Amino acid sequence: MDWISQPWPWYVSGAAIAFVMLLLLLVGKFFGMSANLRTFCAIGGAGKTIEFFRFDWKAQQWNLLVALGAIIGGFIAAHYLTADPAVAINPDTVAELKTLGFESAGTEYLPDELYGPGVWSDPKALILLLLGGLFVGFGARYAGGCTSGHAISGLSNLQWPSLLAVIGFFAGGMVMIYFLFPLIFG
């Protein structure tokens, strides 16, 4: 049973994601996680002033349950299925991240510099996390979907708009990492 506590290889992981999409289709739903963020806004009453959030959010409860499951799954995986959370990324990447100040590269699941307990008293880290989330939320709704809705569901259905969105994802990610990271963390 040692394999269970190891990270899953890419082919197992990819197959599991496709299986999740298949199961959602078979229960009459679809795979798209960022739609939940819109539902949160609707539950919070954003529909009172903004028409975009005026919809029957109760019809989206199924997706909230998927999100709740993702939270529970994260708890189970981290606490019961993982012996060592360190992510074995490319040693060259580790060396490069250290020059950017990410000392925890290669020894943790997430960088301490952004997700460690110390960030609550680190205004710069908190602002970066908030901004990162803001771009994700804004961009996902603007593009009409995120990684699950476009990169997996959309590409699986051979929809070219989803290919455009994925090209956008990578263009944005590369600009952030190649051009902005040296300015932010350098």
Partner 1 sequence: MRSISYLLIGILFGITMFKSEAASWFRIYEMFKFDAFHMYGIIGTAVVLGVIIVAVIKRFNVKSFYGDPIEFTPKDKIIPRYLIGGFIFGLGWALAGACPGPMFTLAGAGYLPVLIVILGAVIGTWLYGLMRHKLPH
Based on the shown chain and the rule CB under 8 A, indicate whether residue 95 belongs to the binding site for partner 1. no
Binder among 23, 58, 124, 182 for partner 1 (CB under 8 A): 23
Based on the shown chain and the rule CB under 8 A, indicate whether residue 165 belongs to the binding site for partner 1. yes
Binder among 55, 58, 103, 172 for partner 1 (CB under 8 A): 172
Q: Is 69 exposed, middle or buried (0-12, 13-18, 19+ CB in 10 A)?
A: exposed
Element (H, E) at 173: helix 160-174
Binder among 1, 59, 83, 158 for partner 1 (CB under 8 A): 158
Based on the shown chain and the rule CB under 8 A, indicate whether residue 143 belongs to the binding site for partner 1. yes
Binder among 22, 98, 99, 103 for partner 1 (CB under 8 A): 22
Based on the shown chain and the rule CB under 8 A, indicate whether residue 87 belongs to the binding site for partner 1. yes
Taking CB under 8 A as the criterion, which residues in 97-126 touch partner 1?
A: 97, 105-106, 108-111, 114-116, 119-120, 125-126
From residue 44 to residue 63, what is the string marking binding to partner 1 with x (rule CB under 8 A)?
x-x---x-xx-------xxx
Interior angle at CA 136, CA 117 and CA 57, nearest 5: 105
Concatenating the DSSP letter of every residue in 84-149 gives -------HHHHHHHHHTT-TTTTTSSS-HHHHSGGGGG-HHHHHHHHHHHHHHHHHHHHHT--III
